[in-house]
Amino acid sequence: MITEVGTKSLTLVQAVNDALRIMLKEREDVIVLGEDVGKNGGVFRATDGLLEEFGEQRVIDTPLSEAGFTGAAIGMALGGFRPVVEIQFLGFIYPAYEQIMTHAARMRSRTRGHFAVPLVIRAPYGAGVRAPEIHSDSTEALFTHMPGIKVVCPASPYDAKGMLIAAIEDPDPVLFLEPMRSYRAFREDVPEGKYAIEIGKGKKLREGDDVTVIAWGAMVPVAMKAAEEAAKKGIDADVIDLRTLYPLDKDMIAESVQKTGRAVIVQEAHATGGLANDILAVINDTSFFYQHAPVERVTGFDVPVPFFAYEDDYLPTPSRVLHAMEKVMRF
Amino acid sequence: MELNFPIVQVLNEDGTVVQPEYRERITKPLTMTMYRHLIRTRTFDRKCVSLQRQGRIGTYVPYEGQEACQVGSALALNDGDWMFPTYRDHGAMMTFGRPLTTTLLYWKGRTEGCVPPEGKKIVPPSVPIATQLPQAAGAACAEKWKGTNNAVLVYFGDGATSEGDFHEGLNFASVFDAPVVFFNQNNQYAISVPITRQMKTKTIAQKALAYDIPGIRIDGNDVFAVYFHTAEALERARNGGGPTLIEAVTWRYGAHTTSDDPSRYRDQEESKKRRETTDPIKRVERLMQREGWWDEEWAKQVQAEVDAEIEQAVTEMERYPKADATDMFDFVFAQPTWTIAEQKEAYLQWKRGMAT
């Protein structure tokens, strides 16, 4: 296959690697740190080859301590660096929660802008790869609720690269969630050079007039599959990949819902306190009088993310999404 | 283990220099500087307790009794160094150059209280326990990797050694030979819980062994022991010698905060006794008397100058423009997100409506 000049075909995890390499090359203040990010190239190989290329002062294997190295990265950020920290799995981020909540996300506000923490925290998240327990959490809402940090979640290689570059250039802390299930699921042509995708902007993946389907991360392919199935039944869906979870792309959501009058939100995480509820609030605030049907949410359940023998029952599937789409159409 | 980590003194309770190698360096001007800072920090602390009682500032965290720890260590810093304090270390912060008005504004609940003077790397006080230790380790790594000569001084109490972040911070710093001095003020109580309930070890200094870094136990009420040993640890850090753990054994005379009553959990007779015996200021006075440097008139003048400076700061704090609600919206991100911008606009509009 001949690729276009100036692009290369990458998986999502390769796109992450590409973004890190470009930023390490371009900016001396960028450093990468975490468990196994150096010699091992990360457990998912997201940092593969970076130690060899940039040396151990830029790509740093740390002690196994999420709070310790996240806290240290805050200190490094105060000291003029732009650290990109890797949390091996989102389910292991909780020891670092205090450092993020109480310090990274609050430093600018506490000091009236005197100190800031331009820190990127990368974390693979989500179920669906038959991982051992605790490796499959999707607790983005713990962070979208947290004031002072942006939360992004690309679904494709192209977006992963452009959004990671934007996250590293952002003057404030950014949690960068990587759908583990999509790491190597497909390839996409990605520009070779540097490009940034604005944080806070969603992406319309499909145009349709009947129902809006909103998804992010690993749920984007699920939503797309459901939309294809729906099309066969004569339901024409508008599909939004949110890409940024905080701040939400309010305008894109409102515009689509005002066009279709119906919405289905697909969320991998537990239902209660989830991001879908905030999206519902956006729809309520912007588009109440345009609604032809109550908004449907297709989500995980209010149970701990189960052992993998049960994960197919836990995760939203195209057929569950399709069912919700049919329900809002019938209302 | 206690025998391996004896409490090191330079100046004993009688005001006698007990370590001859420091004899020459304890000059009259240095002693006068120490004395002035000790009086300044103590007077300020007492003033703040009184301001809190009068409702002129919020809940306040007193440090009376720990002045030597804070003054001696802060004076050992270079201008370009970092300070990572806790909420009890405003004595150290003001000695390092944070204006008194700034400190008062902090206790008045104002964010202006977290803004250090230009050029001074004073991080806002850490309110949770021990979280500042990994951060200090990271800031120290940053200085090392930038190739500067700056070091980091981080404060924490005895209770903090029970937290995971204590271990993670010391471990991280030791692995990377970070130029940081971990300065523990062991005042022997974490609110009500005595040190015997925090740890089985008899000393905090011995924990340095676990990280293969130097650890030293000093008399935290001896401003010269604090000053010289912190300076040596900072010097070692600057020269690539990595971190040091200093345990400064001290005692807070009063409450944990102005909301606390220490007589519920300990005999305050102990504090009374210590004011006469181990007080950090008394022993400097004794030294000055012993050396013939003591001048009653000069001491009165120091007190008068300090009083005037504090009064001035209180006046400035009280004349400060009223806290502006827009401040809480404007500094969360470099550019406010739409949610914050909308909430700010809606709230201010509502507030203007209420005012008319």
A39 at interface of B, judged by CB pairs closer than 8 A: no
Instruction: Determine what percent of chain B falls in helix, strand and coil, rounding each to the nearest 5.
Output: 55, 10, 35
B-chain CB neighbours of A70 within 8 Å are 134
CATH class of A9-191: alpha beta
Q: Rounded to whole angstroms, how far apart are CA atoms B143 and B147?
A: 6
- Say if residue B250's pLDDT is above 90: yes
Cross-chain residue pair A102–B171, CB shorter than 8 Å = no
């950014």: which residue's tokens? Answer: A174
The residue with tokens 């792309």 is A249
Please say if the pLDDT value at position B226 is more than 70: yes
Q: Which of A72, A147, A171 sits opposite B138 (nearest CB)?
A: A72
Of A65, A68, A112, the CB nearest to B331: A112
Q: What is the pLDDT of residue B3?
A: 74
- Average pLDDT estimate for B225-244: 98
Q: Six-digit token pair at A127? A: 């179920």
E strand or H helix at B172: helix B164-175
Q: Choose among A81, A85, A161: nearest CA to A121.
A: A85
Mean pLDDT computed over B193-206: 95
User: Rounded to a whole number, what is the distance in Å from the CA of B282 to chain A's nearest CA?
Assistant: 37
Residues of B in Cβ contact (< 8 Å) with A75: 134-142, 152
pLDDT along chain A (331 residues), means of 10: 75 98 98 97 97 97 98 98 98 98 98 98 97 96 98 98 98 98 96 97 98 98 98 98 98 98 98 98 98 98 97 97 98 94
CB contact under 8 A, A79 and B139: yes
Instruction: Summarize the confidence of residues B271-299 as an average pLDDT.
Output: 96
Contact A115 B131 (CB under 8 A): no
Which residues of chain A from 213 to 272 reach within 8 Å of chain B, CB to CB?
246-247, 250
Rounded to two decimals, the pTM is 0.96
Contacts of B122 in chain A (CB under 8 A): none
φ/ψ bin of A143: left (φ > 0), alpha (ψ from -120 to 50), beta (otherwise): alpha
Q: Which member of B115, B143, B332 has the closest CB to residue A147?
A: B332
Residues from chain A contacting residue B127 (CB–CB below 8 Å): 102
Which sequence spans correspond to the domains of chain B?
Answer: 20-323, 324-356
Q: Is A55 on the interface with B (CB under 8 A)?
A: no
Q: Residue A72 and residue B145: Cβ atoms within 8 Å? A: no
Residues within 8 A of B (CB atoms), A 267-326 only: none
- Helices B132-146 and A66-78 cross at an angle (nearest 10°) of 50
Task: Give the nearest partner residue to B337 out of A99, A112, A247, using CB atoms.
Answer: A247
- Delimit the CATH 3.40.50.920 region(s) of chain A: 203-330
- Give chain B positions within 8 Å (CB) of A71: 131, 133-135, 137-138, 165, 168-169
Amino acid at A114: H
Q: Alpha-carbon distance A285 to A293, whole Å?
A: 16
Residue B78: both structure tokens together = 């270079």
Q: How far is A263 from chain B (nearest CA, A)?
A: 22
Classify the C-alpha dihedral A266-A270-A272-A278 as positive or negative: negative
- Chain A neighbors of B141, CB-CB under 8 A: 72, 75-76, 79
Instruction: Pick the residue of B328, B337, B344 with the most A CBs within 10 A to test the interface with A by mutation.
Output: B337
Looking at residue A200, its pLDDT comes to 98
Question: Which of A32, A35, A65, A108 is the best residue to mutate to test the B interface, defined by the most B CB atoms within 10 Å of its own CB?
Answer: A65
* C-alpha to C-alpha distance for A158 and B142, rounded to whole angstroms: 32
What is the greatest pairwise CA distance in chain A?
A: 60
Size of interface A-B (CB pairs under 8 A): 137
pLDDT value at residue B354: 81
Alpha-carbon dihedral B95, B99, B100, B103, rounded to 10 degrees = -100
**CA–CA gap between residue A202 and residue B290 (Å, rounded):** 75
Is the pLDDT reported for residue B355 higher than 90?
A: no
Across chain B, what does the average pLDDT equal? 96
Q: Looking at beta carbons, which residues of chain B come within 8 Å of A98?
A: 128, 131
CATH of A203-330, one of 3.40.430.10, 3.40.640.10, 3.40.50.920, 3.30.750.80: 3.40.50.920
* Domain made up of B20-323: CATH architecture: 3-Layer(aba) Sandwich (3.40)
- Is A148's CB within 8 Å of B332's CB? yes
Where does CATH 3.40.50.970 sit in chain A? 9-191
What is the chain A residue with the closest CA to B82?
A: A79
Contact B115 A114 (CB under 8 A): yes
pLDDT tens, residue by residue, B66-106: 999 999 999 999 999 999 999 999 999 999 999 999 999 99
Token couple for A109: 């506000």
Catalytic residue among A135, A270, A292, A323: A135
